[in-house]
Amino acid sequence: MLFSLAVRNIVKSKGRSITTLLLSTFTTLFFIVYVAFMDGSHHQIIKSSVEAYTGYAHVNLKGYRDESGYDNLIENAERIEQILKNDRSVKAYSPRFETYALLSGDEKAVGSMIVGIIPSREASLSKLPHSLIKGEYLNDNDPNLIYIGSELAKRLKVDVGSQIAMVGSSIDYSIAADLFTVKGIFKTGLFDFDSQSAFVNKTYLDTVMLSQNMASYFTLCFHDNDKIDKVTTELQASLPEEVEAVNWKTLLTALVQAMLVDSLFGYISISIFFVVIFFVIMIFSYVNIYTRAREIGLLRALGLTSKDIFGMLFVEILILATVSIVVGTIIGASIAYYYELYPIVISGMAETYKEYGIVSDEMPMHFDLFTIAWNALTIFILNLAAIIYPVTKINKLTAMEAMRYV
């Protein structure tokens, strides 16, 4: 009987029902799209940082993360190379040899990171080749040519074709020194990286540093980078005991935490929106219920208990909330799914904001069923909670009081 009464009330007061439906549908839709967009941009920022240079995972000697000096180098790089080659989950990999050395143009000397890379293999692992702004990217047969960050070039006061002297320490700790010619200048937008990094063809750098068949680490990406934890653990099983596989969640801990803090602030701002929505729904329900005071009084006089009244109004909002949340979720999830597959493209954004490390024009959303489910459930609970106060309030009136209520 309560259910049919509730349905009758919904159908009878079309205007009120449609307004409630629209309000809840819009709230659900907005919440799902907002969270999908926030998560999407975080994924995009992480993807940009991962792909700029770091890579999805590294394979290095245990202890290298704490002390990245020559004591923790992979000394038989070919062996690791074979393991990575035979691992089906690994899509691409390349060894890197990182060291710190003194670089000097004509005037000033600057301490910098020098990395030996295999230029052709880096193309599928990082954005280094795409970050070129002047000159040319390296190739696998380059001799003493160097590819340097734009800020480093400014600090050293050098340009493409200029000569740079490098003084560092070779593997046997003797002095390693050489002259390099600037082949290209890159800019990733990551200021520290652009002001402290320089790249040389690894085959050549190995002859200067005496680091043949050695690597600081291998950078790699998997076929399925979305299941990074699982594939990293599986890869670890095939590696020698002294070697470890770590993925970007460890390599970029600071960034991951920054995204977490940003999400937290995102949720705080949206919760303010929720408070507003909650009160809007509550006030709306309050007004609605009180305009029906005479009707409720009559029902009470006819023998319905306050519990029945509560049940009837609760079923009403339950029906309305269910319908609006289902509709809002379907639309919201569709939007999130669509914009995950076909991200919003703001053409020229990457070019304009290259300085800030944005390397893509795309602004994707993130479609995740679990996130959508808890978003929808939150709005659903919010809807139900909003009628508790008005219903309790009207139930305090007696049948006579309710019927006389103006």
Partner 1 sequence: MKYFLSLLLLTFTLHPNEAQDIIKKIEKNLRGEYMYSTMSMIVTSKHGKRTVKIESWSEGNEKSFIKILYPNKDRGITFLKIDNQMWQYIPKIERTMKIPPSMMLQSWMGSDFTNDDMVKESSLEEDYHAKLLTKSGNTATLELIPKEDAAVVWGKIIIDVDLKNAVPIRETFYDDLMQKVRIMTFSKVEQHGSHMVPMVMELIPLDENKKHNRTKIISEKVNYDAKIDPSYFTKQALKRYSR
Residue 143 near partner 1 by CB under 8 A: no
Two tokens, residue 2: 């309560």
Shortest distance, position 238 Cβ to partner 1, whole Å: 26
DSSP state of 125: T
Q: 201 with 140: CB under 8 angstroms?
A: yes
Q: 189 with 128: CB under 8 angstroms?
A: no
Two tokens, residue 44: 């995009």
At 258, the amino acid letter reads A
Among 7, 22, 167, 275, binds partner 1 (CB under 8 A): 167
Question: Closer CB to partner 1, residue 181 or residue 371?
Answer: 181
DSSP state of 359: -
Among 1, 11, 66, 268, binds partner 1 (CB under 8 A): 66
Q: Of 177-185, 256-264, 275-283, 388-396, which segment contacts partner 1 by CB under 8 A?
A: 177-185
Count Cβ atoms within 10 A of the Cβ of residue 406 and give its class: 0-12 exposed, 13-18 middle, 19 or more buried: exposed
Residue 76 near partner 1 by CB under 8 A: no
Shortest distance, position 268 Cβ to partner 1, whole Å: 37
Residue 242 near partner 1 by CB under 8 A: no
Bridge-based pairing state of the strands 145-149 and 175-186 = parallel
Mask: binding to partner 1, 376-405, rule CB under 8 A, as x and -? ------------------------------
Shortest distance, position 180 Cβ to partner 1, whole Å: 10
Q: 50 with 248: CB under 8 angstroms?
A: yes
Q: 57 with 246: CB under 8 angstroms?
A: yes
Among 54, 89, 120, 169, binds partner 1 (CB under 8 A): 169
Among 1, 11, 175, 268, binds partner 1 (CB under 8 A): 175
Two tokens, residue 222: 């998997």
Question: Closer CB to partner 1, residue 177 or residue 264?
Answer: 177
* Rounded Cα distance, 57 and 330, in Å: 36
Mask: binding to partner 1, 305-344, rule CB under 8 A, as x and -? ----------------------------------------
Two tokens, residue 12: 């009878």
Count Cβ atoms within 10 A of the Cβ of residue 229 and give its class: 0-12 exposed, 13-18 middle, 19 or more buried: exposed
The H or E element that residue 293 is part of is helix 293-301
Shortest distance, position 172 Cβ to partner 1, whole Å: 7
* Rounded Cα distance, 138 and 178, in Å: 17
Among 7, 18, 133, 179, binds partner 1 (CB under 8 A): 179
Residue 192 near partner 1 by CB under 8 A: no
Q: Of 25-33, 165-173, 255-263, 308-316, which segment contacts partner 1 by CB under 8 A?
A: 165-173
Residue ranges binding partner 1 (CB under 8 A): 63, 66-67, 70-71, 100, 102, 104, 108-111, 165, 167, 169, 171-175, 177-179
